[in-house]
Amino acid sequence: MDLVKAEMKAVRFPRTAQEGLRQCAELSETARRWFRQSIQADHPGASEQEIEKKRRLLLARRCAAQGRQIAKWKKELDRYFRG
């Protein structure tokens, strides 16, 4: 328990809900910027429209893969816990 307590003291949590939402927005924007930069690095010379198209394609693929994973997880859940 002492280890957990020490780790929790080292983390600075938001003082208010507004501060927490602001931090979340900043992190989201940073992740979005890094994602665009990685696409630009992989496709030097691409136009903004091409980068946006690639970004949407990658996000669509991720969503589709996530959907398949959730469906598989639900099937396994039913198989082992409701069957």
Mind listing the pLDDT tens digit for each residue in 27-83?
A: 999 999 999 999 999 999 999 999 999 999 999 999 999 999 999 999 999 988 886
Residue 83 has what pLDDT?
64
Mean pLDDT value of segment 9-33: 92
- The pTM of this model reads 0.66
Residue 21 has what pLDDT?
95
Query: What DSSP state is assigned to residue 2?
Result: H
Each domain of the chain, given as residue ranges in start order, spans: 14-81
Residue 10 has what pLDDT?
84
pLDDT per position as a tens digit, 3-13: 888 888 888 88
Rounded to whole angstroms, how far apart are CA atoms 48 and 37?
A: 12
Residue 53 has what pLDDT?
96
- Asked whether the beta carbons of 55 and 36 are under 8 A apart, the reply is yes
